[in-house]
Amino acid sequence: MSAPLTNLRVLDMSRILAGPWAGQLLGDFGADVVKIERPGCGDDTRQWGPPWLGGDSAGESAYFLSANRNKRSVTVDIAKPEGQQVIRDLVAQADVLLENFKVGTLSRYGLGAEDMLALNPQLIYCSISAFGQSGSKSGEPGYDAMIQASGGLMSITGPAAGESGGPQKVGVAVADIMAGMYATTAVLAALNARAQSGAGQHIDVPLYDSQVAWLANQSMNFLVGGVVPERMGTAHPNLVPYQAFASRDGSLMLAVGNDRQFAACAECVGLPELAADDRFQHNSNRIANRVELVELLARCFKTKTTEEWLASFAEKGIPAGPINDLQQVLTGEHAEERQLVRHLSNTRGQSVPVVSNPVDFSSTPVKYQYAPPLLGEHTDEVLREWLGYSEKLIAELHRSAAV
């Protein structure tokens, strides 16, 4: 069975994480993704190490490997007229173009959305930027950490006010990744619209707006309740008890989602009377009396080991789990059962570990075809395959350093 997007050609002109993440997802789903990189250096993240595959800087950085499987790398110097023509020729054959240049950069080279849609009216041209294609901040650059800060995420992440420590960013570039996810769904929606109308379009995906959009219940808590959400550590603003607790030998995460689960939890910790207590019987009461309840539970949890508590909770159907590190997550029995890690061979003969795409289609499986590419390794191949360029023309492009 072929993957679901095998009929699509994607030109990935993005770098760092948000755009490449979208390109990788489309590649996982079967699209032919060609990654356009600057000759000589490529995607910035190729230099974002250590660690490096193979142990030294001659290998690929782990960061680059995380977002660039199922792509072919083509080097093009878009500052050269010959390079710009190569991009135009590729766009004429493409279904989707992904880019995350600073707003206005590609237009200066005649490669902006208006130019490319005039060349290929069916093209889906997806622009990812810090603050969008319009507005007073549109010309400003942005990286994930500053978006997490300015977009509100850091204000609700970290120890509670009054505790040691201040606002924290999430330990992965989640603003970039979520923008990449929004870009992917937008591209698929635009492709469906094209199937009905025959026309392509320009998609504008700002990191900032994406960050604001996925704050979900926290944003609605403010809009509906009028109270600005604050940092709460591991606790939940709308559910209690829903946080990490210290056990006798470590920690665990408890996630009680309803009154039935709370009653079962109270029984597990040896305090069944809590479920009938007016202070704690319903979730709204537990929120009002959060401090008192958490103190009661915290004393109980210190009497047994994490493993003992998790076994008791599992028996009662109470959502709870260990706080695993990444070695525990990516190795062991469950990781093997779910095939969370796969290995792809690159053209150097190296085995490249990759974290699996989490989607499992019943009849159109995710593709694991290409390891993250070496810089420019597919340039000649793609110019022949997509464009039918002659060997003479390809040689001339190399001589002029356009590719």
Half-sphere exposure for 138 (CA within 13 Å, toward CB): 11
CA distance 356 to 354: 6
Q: Tell me the C-alpha to C-alpha distance, in Å, between residue 143 and each of 34, 147, 177.
A: 24, 6, 12
In sequence order, what DSSP letters do the residues of 5-59 get, joined into one string?
Answer: TTT-EEEE---SSHHHHHHHHHHHTT-EEEEEE-TTT-SGGGG--SSBTTSSTTS
Which pair of structure tokens corresponds to residue 157? 């992440």
CA distance 369 to 352: 12
User: Is 176 a catalytic site residue?
Assistant: yes
Mention every residue, 6+ apart, whose C-beta is less than 8 A from residue 88.
Answer: 110, 111, 116, 119
CA distance 271 to 178: 41
CA distance 80 to 87: 11
Which pair of structure tokens corresponds to residue 49? 């190490």
Out of 176, 259, 277, 325, pick the active-site residue: 176
Residue 226 sits at φ, ψ, to 5 deg, of: 75, 5
CA distance 102 to 99: 9
91 near 11, Cβ under 8 Å? Answer: yes
CA distance 187 to 195: 12
153 near 231, Cβ under 8 Å? Answer: no
Partner residues linked to 105 by β-bridges: none
What long-range pairs does 40-48 form, CB within 8 A, spacing at least 24?
40/75, 41/375, 42/73, 42/75, 42/375, 42/376, 43/15, 43/16, 43/68, 44/15, 44/16, 45/15, 45/16, 45/17, 45/20, 46/375
Positions marked active-site: 176
